[in-house]
Amino acid sequence: MKVLFLDVDGVLNNFSLLYQNGFDYIDPHMVSLVRFVVRQTGCLIVLSSSWRLTQENKSLVSLALKQQGMFMHDTTPEIAGARSNEILRWLKSKGEVERYAVLDDDEDAGFGMNESFFQTDPEVGLTEEIAKRIIAHLNGDENE
């Protein structure tokens, strides 16, 4: 299986959008870029964002995904330390992951992830260029 570990703040929104629309805003265009990745790769979405920690925020993410024909497969566990530790714990518990991508604006999510880490600029959020790089990575494109 292929997995996309998904953050929200700085990925599915950006600073400007949050200040304009409120701190629970998820941008439909950026969600559509996630849909593009999912359709091109068949990956599962695992929420690694701190939004997974409250039912209200987790429901907002689920709704944003559902509105574009997607769903959240799972969430990472909550453990102390860097977000990468939570992702590594999830990966270790599953075993059958063929390829994965970590999509986050915070570099602590990428510790030890090497080419599987895709960092967004929190002032911009997810872009088409980053989405295409994730697709190439998840599909094992040698020219990524």
Residue 42 pLDDT > 90: yes
pLDDT > 70: what percent of the chain? Answer: 98
Each residue of 12-38: pLDDT tens digit? 999 999 999 989 999 999 999 999 999
What pLDDT score was predicted for residue 36?
A: 98
* Residue spans of alpha helices (H) in the chain: 15-21, 28-41, 55-66, 83-94, 128-138
**Does 63 reside within a domain?**
yes
**Does 144 reside within a domain?**
no
**Does 37 reside within a domain?**
yes
Distance CA 100, CA 13 (A): 22
Each residue of 81-107: pLDDT tens digit? 889 999 999 999 987 999 999 999 999
**Does 15 reside within a domain?**
yes
**Does 129 reside within a domain?**
yes
Of 5 and 79, the structure prediction assigns the larger pLDDT to 5
Domains contained in the chain, number: 1
Distance CA 103, CA 81 (A): 18
**Does 143 reside within a domain?**
no
**β-pair partners for 103:** 6, 118
What's the CATH code of the domain at 98? 3.40.50.1000
| Contacts with 39 (C-beta within 8 Å, 6 or more apart), sequence order | none
Predicted TM-score of the model (pTM): 0.95
